[in-house]
Structure 1
Amino acid sequence: MKDSNIVRRLIAADAAAYRTVMLDAYATHPSAFTSTVGEREGLPLNWWEKRLGAEVNAPSVVFGAFDDKGALVGAAGLSFEDRERARHKATLFGMSVKASARRAGFGRRLVQAVLDHARAHGGLRLVQLTVTEGNAPAQTLYENCGFQVFGIEPLAIALDGALLAKVHMWCDLEDGRSASATGSVVPAAR
């Protein structure tokens, strides 16, 4: 029997489901992502597996949200800086929850799982992200999880002839927030 509504780190066996969720996100919400369906749909499955970060010093990790049927309904990733002077920073990327699973707390649990992983990673002080200007629900979610705006990048992405701005946000990992009080976060299956 599947645990209901859990968030856990994704593993290689989740790569196909992760690919499906992200391609749907790129297609359904093109203004929310810098990558496009066209850029990602042709990538081999091993690219998606590598992005999940199974190896010890992986450049990124991805967490997934699963509904009560065990279906992957959302994801959020964390990428690490490898340059010595920037190793105290990480970037939250690829945050998405399927429309059918919204308003169930998955987004908050995904963000908190990423932040908890960043805190446990060692040596990290902050997590940053970008959100497309005007995406109030996403920006509010991030603010509710402890992120603050530090700037706006004008003309950041081009979409259908329009140039959209990106809001840059950051979260201080030493602020004491924890996912333990926000939902079920479990380690990756081995």
Structure 2
Amino acid sequence: MIERLQGRHAAAYRDLMLDAYTRHPEAFTSSTEERAALPLSWWENRLNAAEDAGQVVFGITDGDAVLGAVGLTFSNRQRARHKVLLFGMYVVAGQQGKGLGQSLIDAALSYARQRPHTLLVQLTVSENNASARKLYEHNGFASFGLEPLAVATATGFISKVHMWRELRES
């Protein structure tokens, strides 16, 4: 089931994202060490239930487990409030290839369309993450730039592709 995650999901969401950072360090700007050091309250705050929350996270839940997630960040700045940032897209290995990533994107875009002032969604994706780029392109996202040396890893640097799409249906 896909739902907007709430504070009660914080521990399971934390576990999911720590798994993501560990299994795919090249795909995320955050590191396992950085995020593991954060208190559970940080994760609870990220899942703020307020209607006007600056961030929302959608998850695929199965009982108490969170099997996948994607987040949106909304700007409160007057000149940037039309832009939404999609972040933290991940589905656990055993559930990949089942259309859950598509379902998460559908939920995120649907929610973003309902927020006042929002016109477009932006994201970044690691240049070498072909499967994620394909999923985003399938959903109408287009590249608008490459950020070289965007993320430092133990083995070197990773460039990030910047992508965007309008929210209105064509």
Q: TM-score, normalised by structure 1?
A: 0.86
Q: Which amino acid aligns with 1:19?
A: R
Structure 1: where are the runs of 5+ without partners? 1-5, 177-190
Give the match's secondary structure for 2:79. helix
Distance in 1 of aligned mates of 2:139 and 2:36: 31
Q: Structure 1 residues 111, 47: closer, same or farther in 2, change over 3 A?
A: same
Match of 2:19 among 16, 24, 36: 24
Asked if 1 retains the 8 angstrom alpha-carbon contact of 2:12 and 2:64, the reply is no
Give the match's secondary structure for 1:167. strand
Distance in 1 of aligned mates of 2:155 and 2:17: 23
Residue 147 of structure 1: aligned partner = 141
Give the match's secondary structure for 2:14. helix
Report the alpha carbon displacement of residue 59 of structure 1 after superposing the two structures with TM: 1.1
Distance in 2 of aligned mates of 1:124 and 1:64: 21
Residue 94 of structure 1: aligned partner = 88
Residue 154 of structure 2: aligned partner = 160
Match of 1:107 among 97, 101, 110: 101
Residue 44 of structure 1: aligned partner = 39
Report the alpha carbon displacement of residue 160 of structure 1 after superposing the two structures with TM: 1.2
**Larger RCO, structure (CA 8 Å, separation 6 or more):** 1
Residue 3 of structure 2: aligned partner = 8
Distance in 1 of aligned mates of 2:106 and 2:64: 20
Is the counterpart of residue 138 in structure 1 residue 122 in structure 2? no
Distance in 2 of aligned mates of 1:20 and 1:121: 29
Asked if 1 retains the 8 angstrom alpha-carbon contact of 2:9 and 2:64, the reply is no
Report the alpha carbon displacement of residue 72 of structure 1 after superposing the two structures with TM: 1.5
Give the match's secondary structure for 2:51. coil
Is the counterpart of residue 71 in structure 1 residue 90 in structure 2? no
Q: Deviations over 1:29-51 (max 9, x none)?
A: 00000000111101111110111
Cα root mean square deviation, aligned: 1.2
Give the match's secondary structure for 1:138. helix
Among the aligned pairs, what percent are the same residue? 52
Q: Which amino acid aligns with 1:74?
A: G
Q: Which amino acid aligns with 1:47?
A: W
Structure 2: where are the runs of 5+ without partners? none
Distance in 2 of aligned mates of 1:7 and 1:144: 20
Q: TM-score, normalised by structure 2?
A: 0.96
Report the alpha carbon displacement of residue 56 of structure 1 after superposing the two structures with TM: 2.9
Report the alpha carbon displacement of residue 70 of structure 1 after superposing the two structures with TM: 6.1
Report the alpha carbon displacement of residue 57 of structure 1 after superposing the two structures with TM: 2.2
Runs of 4+ in 1 over 4 A off after TM superposition: none
